[in-house]
Amino acid sequence: MGFRWIAWGLAVEGGVMTGLVVDGTGVEVLAGGERIGPRRLLGLGDAGLLTGLAARYEQAVQSGSDGGVFIELGRELYRGVGGAAGPV
């Protein structure tokens, strides 16, 4: 895979991570610093999808996009690495 990791999420009280963590082999969901559900292995298509979504997420944050943009990004994420492909 062409990337090391991507973390989408929110650091809350004490720097505890809640969000999505992706590395070169898999993706997992963290809530309050704890893993939620099984780790899902990634394929080459997943890496491209996640890299593109991460770039769009960064752009949306930097430009102050409204909530609808983030909802659509979440839906695309779920369809791409969740949904029928397996749990995220």
Domain extent listing, the chain: 5-85
The DSSP output letter for 14 is G
pLDDT in tens, the chain (88 residues): 444 445 556 555 566 666 777 777 788 877 777 888 888 888 777 778 888 888 898 899 899 999 899 889 888 887 876 655 455 5
| Dmax (CA) of the chain | 35
Instruction: Count other Cβ atoms within 10 Å, centred on residue 16.
Output: 14
Give the residue from 3, 26, 6, 25 showing the smallest Cα distance to 17. 6
Quote the pLDDT of residue 30: 77
Rounded (10°) angle between helices 67-81 and 44-63: 170
User: What does the pLDDT look like over 63-79, one tens digit per residue?
Assistant: 999 989 988 988 888 78
- State whether residue 73 is helix, strand or coil: helix
